[in-house]
Amino acid sequence: MSLKLSPLISNSMILQRNTEIKIRGYCNPNEAVEISFNGVAVTATADGNGFWLCSLGEFEACSEPLEMKISSNGEVIIVGDILIGDVWLCSGQSNMELWLSRVRHNYPDDAAAQNPMIRQFKVPQVHNFNAPSDEFSLSESKWEAFSPEVIANFTAVGYFFAKKLHERYKIPIGLLASAVGGTPVTAWMSREMLEDLGLTNELAEAEKCKDPEYIKKTLGDYEKYSQDYHKQLGESDLGFRESWAGADYDDSDWEEINIHKPVHKSGSYWYRKTIDLPEELWGKPASIFLGTAIDMDEVFVNGEKIGTTYYRYPPRDYQFTLPEGRCVIAIRLLCFGGYGEFAAGKNYFLATERRTLDIGGVWKRRQGAETENQAPMTFFNYKPTGLFNGMISPLMNTAVKGVIWYQGESDTGNPGRYAEKLSAMINGWREARGIRELPFIMTQLVYYEYTGSHDSEHGAHWEKLREQQKLCLELPKTGLALGYDLGEYNDLHPQNKRDIGERLARLAYRLAYNEKLPPNLFEMYNC
């Protein structure tokens, strides 16, 4: 088939109301394309490369599914279930990316809900250092209506933001989810933005990343190093050789410690706890909750592995079937940076449908192996210009109502020029869209204590970054949702995503929908 549409023009999409709608695609060079939608019919002619683009005009909001027909030289594509409402770009790092399934226990009703009026297009996490990508690079993605089946990839902050907007204005809300955990602001800036600020080091780094062989070799070398590192760690682990996960292993001579007591050397540490189960729980499905851990864990019940988490941030939540009689929980904690712990202040319990058992407090522990610190991996998604080219540029032809932004954690180590960088990014995104005052609503960094940090200035760095965020309010049509009170001292990814989303939404009422609202304790803005 020669007729092809942008992935953003696809089933279940939401189009931006009251804004010129542009449809684009490819067909055979110089051929005519006919598009009909919502009572409008237009014709376009492809250029010598086969690309075509046309305008359908503007439309009012519509919650009833519509259909679009595109045809060329006998080929026909039907795009169905189209709604018209408001589309918002959701970008930043992990706290924007963080999916609703990760906080589902806090919001069980929302996690079980269906709402076809809220839809998301999740942008693939792809970097490009050579040139801005076009939207046809997004072929892996599609529009999805909110339902329990999609919460594993649906931005939680974006969902709660969209829910409030839909409740207030009764129109469909679309989300372009373009966020990547761990990213500094320079990853979302173009080469021109970096040049304007004279960021020579960042420009040099971006230039270096233009070489695909450099990227390939760097990733390949690290993959081999990591495989060798973990192989050596596994082979030297006494816990594997002596079956420390087994139900019948004798741990009577192990150290008894509080599960939150940290370790200060890289390697493996085994934890064991024995629970005598009442007969009423035998054979029942259960979940085990183990807070968060630095860095990786593997969990066993009576010698059978029930789950693993490969890095420090996700809440540990594993499902299994309870054995009869004794339940021996064994955990293999792997520490890679010279410090490890199970976070204090989190819930540690075993739960069935009818009962919970506390498993915090005292455990038995023994070191299985000691190793050197693991060298850090190079993440190319973090490099300057890569995500602007790969994940923002492809969205520039898609009309949006505004932007919500949650980022800054990765810039706290060097907060000094953050306001300059973010302001340049905001202006650059607006210029690329041709909208000088496109609403841009930021999220203040919440409270957080960096567990295991050797940096005594950690809190001061974060506060400097928060002050830098406020300086961006010198730009018109910007807002800052204040969230310091919503942080958790022991978690970089606080579970309360609803209040963040709703505070962003209230700023949208003011900045994007021009409502006259009284001042609020949790927002700053420049209309």
Q: What is the pLDDT of residues 281-299, one digit of tens each?
A: 999 999 999 999 999 999 9
pLDDT at 455 over 70: no
For the chain, the C-alpha Rg in angstroms (whole number) is: 26
Phi, psi (5° rounding) for residue 503? -70, -40
Query: 84-209+384-526 maps to which CATH number?
Result: 3.40.50.1110
The structure's pTM equals 0.95
* CA geometry: angle 455, 461, 462, nearest 5 deg: 115
Query: 4-82 maps to which CATH number?
Result: 2.60.40.10
Section 8-18 average pLDDT: 97
At 456, the pLDDT band (50, 70, 90 cuts) reads low
Q: Where are the alpha helices (DSSP H) in 123-211?
A: 156-169, 191-196, 200-208
Q: How far apart are alpha carbons 176 and 394 in whole angstroms? A: 11
Q: What is the pLDDT of residue 35?
A: 97
At 202, the pLDDT band (50, 70, 90 cuts) reads very high
Q: What is the pLDDT of residue 457?
A: 72
Please write the tens of the pLDDT for every residue from 70-84: 999 999 999 999 999
pLDDT at 494 over 90: yes
Q: What is the pLDDT of residue 449?
A: 86
Section 394-413 average pLDDT: 96
Q: How far lies 68's CA from each of 7, 46, 71, 238, in Å?
A: 14, 19, 10, 63
Q: How far lies 358's CA from each of 249, 289, 364, in Å?
A: 23, 10, 16
Q: Cβ(165)–Cβ(505) under 8 Å? A: yes
Please write the tens of the pLDDT for every residue from 146-192: 999 999 999 999 999 999 999 999 999 999 999 999 999 999 999 99
Distance of CA 228 to the CA centre of its chain: 30
Pairing verdict, β 143-146 and 115-122: antiparallel
At 145, the pLDDT band (50, 70, 90 cuts) reads very high
Section 442-462 average pLDDT: 79
Please write the tens of the pLDDT for every residue from 14-58: 999 999 999 999 999 999 999 999 999 999 999 999 999 999 999
pLDDT at 452 over 70: no
Least confident of 273-282, 315-324, 456-465: 456-465
Q: Domain residues of the chain, as ranges?
A: 4-82, 84-209+384-526, 240-370
Q: What is the pLDDT of residue 459?
A: 83
At 380, the pLDDT band (50, 70, 90 cuts) reads very high
Q: How far lies 348's CA from each of 170, 359, 452, in Å?
A: 41, 6, 20
- The helix (H) or strand (E) run that includes residue 81 is strand 75-92
Q: Cβ(361)–Cβ(161) under 8 Å? A: no
Q: Cβ(84)–Cβ(17) under 8 Å? A: yes
* Fold of the CATH domain 240-370: Jelly Rolls (2.60.120)
Residue 403 burial (CB < 10 Å; 0-12/13-18/19+)? buried
pLDDT at 357 over 80: yes
pLDDT at 404 over 70: yes
Q: Cβ(70)–Cβ(25) under 8 Å? A: yes
Question: Residue 61 carries which DSSP code?
Answer: -
Least confident of 5-19, 111-125, 329-343, 445-459: 445-459
Q: How far apart are alpha carbons 471 and 15 in whole angstroms? A: 33
